[in-house]
Structure 1
Amino acid sequence: MSCGALEWGSLLEAPHATPVSPRRTPGAFHRPGPHQQEGPITAVYEGAVQDLIDELGRLPGIGPKSAQRVAFHILEADAEDMKRLAEAITTVKEKVKFCEICFNVSEDATCRICQDTRRDQTVICVVEESKDVMAIERTRSFRGRYHVLGGAISPIAGIGPDQLHIRELLNRLSDETITEIVIATDPNLEGEATATYLVRMLKPLGITLTRLASGLPVGGDLEYADDVTLGRAFEGRRALS
Structure 2
Amino acid sequence: MQKTVLITGASRGIGAATALMAVQRGYAVAVNYRSDAAAAADVVSRIEAAGGRAVAIRADVAAETEVLHLFEETERQLGPLSALVNNAAILEPQMTLETMSAERLQRVFATNVIGSLLCAREAVKRLSTRHGGPGGAIVNVSSMAARLGSANEYVDYAASKGAIDSFTLGLAREVAADGIRVNAVRPGLIHTDMHASGGEPGRIERLKGSVPMRRGGQAEEVAAAILWLLSDEASYTTASFIEVSGGR
**TM-score bracket for the superposition, by shorter chain length:** 0.3 to 0.5
The TM-score normalised by the length of structure 2 is 0.33
Q: Which has the higher strand share?
A: 2
- Return the TM-score normalized by structure 1: 0.34
